[in-house]
Copies of this chain bind each other. A is one copy, B any other.
Amino acid sequence: MRKLGLLLSRCAAAWKSVRMASSGMARRAPLTNKVALVTASTDGIGFAIARRLAQDGAHVVISSRKQQNVDRAVATLKGEGLSVTGTVCHVGKAEDRERLVATVLNINVKATALMTTAVVPEMEKRGGGSVVIVASVAAFVPFPALGPYNVSKTALLGLTKNLAIELAPRNIRVNCLAPGLIKTNFSRVLWMDKEREESIKETIRIRRIGTPEDCAGIVSFMCSEDASYITGETVVVAGGIPSRL
C-alpha cells in the first residue's frame, strides 16, 4: 500500500509544479436566446436566481403576487443592464389565499404542478425547455417545527421525478434544487441574533449560512445546454449539513 501512496504523491507533485495558467478565455453567455419565468422572484432565493439567469443571457420574467414588489425588482435588474420584464401572478383572491395558507401542500405542490403544466405548451412550441423546482434540504432531514413545510418539500422531490418522466418525450427536463439554511426573510429567526447565528454555523460543515446567490448558479446550470442529460434529479446546496447519500 505504501507504494501506491508514494506513486500517487508523485502524480500530485507533477500537478503542483505547474504554474498558474491565466487563460482569460471568454465564454458566450450560456442562456442566450432563452426566456426564463421565475416565480416568487422579487426577493431572496427567487430574486438571486432571476438575476443570475439574466446575467447568463436569458430574458427573465419576474413574477410575484404584489405589483409593487414586481416593479421594484424589475427596476433593480434593469438598472444593472439586464433584460427583464415583470408580471403579477397570484393564485386567487384574498379569501382564497387565506385558505391556501392553511394548506401548504396546495401552494407548494399543486401550484408547482399546475404552473409547470401551464408553461408546457409554450415550451413545446419552442422545441423544449427546462423546469427547476425549488424544494429544500428539509425534504430529506426535517427542519424542526415545520412539519407541513417539510412534507410539501418531500412531495416536490416526487413531483420532480414524475414530471421529468412525463415531460421527457416533449424535450422538457425537470430538476430540483434543495437549498439548506439560506439567509432570507424565511429563515430570519435563525440568523437575526448573532449568538444564534454562531451556534447554527457550528452545525454546518462550511461554516456559514448560505446566501441566495449560492443557489443561483446551479439553477442557471440546470437550465443550460450543459445539463441536457440531467433530468429528474435533485441537487442539494446546503454547505454539507446532513442530507442524503
Contacts and interface: CB of A to CB of B under 8 A. Distances in A.
A244 to B, nearest CB: 5
Q: How large is the interface on A (under 10, 10 to 19, 20 to 34, 35 or more residues)?
A: 35 or more
Interface string A1-45: 101110111111011101111111111111011010101000000
Contacts of A236: 230, 233
A195 interface: no
A85 B13 CA distance: 13
Copies in the complex: 4
A69 interface: no
A240 B231 contact: yes
B92 A240 contact: no
A206 B139 CA distance: 21
Contacts of A189: none
A69 to B, nearest CB: 15
B221 A168 contact: no
A245 B157 contact: yes
Given A12-B37, A23-B59, A232 B243 contact: yes
A35 B58 contact: no
Nearest to A31: B23
Contacts of A105: 105-106, 109-110, 155
A75 interface: no
A146 to B, nearest CB: 8
Contacts of A27: 26-30, 55-56
Nearest to A231: B240
A228 interface: yes
A119 B7 contact: no
A63 interface: yes
A83 interface: yes
A218 interface: yes
A153 B161 CA distance: 12
Given A105-B155, A162-B142, A205-B232, A61 B25 contact: no
3 closest A-B pairs by beta carbon, nearest first, are A154-B158, A217-B226, A21-B59
Given A8-B115, A154-B155, 4 more contacts: A18-B59, A25-B57, A147-B162, A233-B243
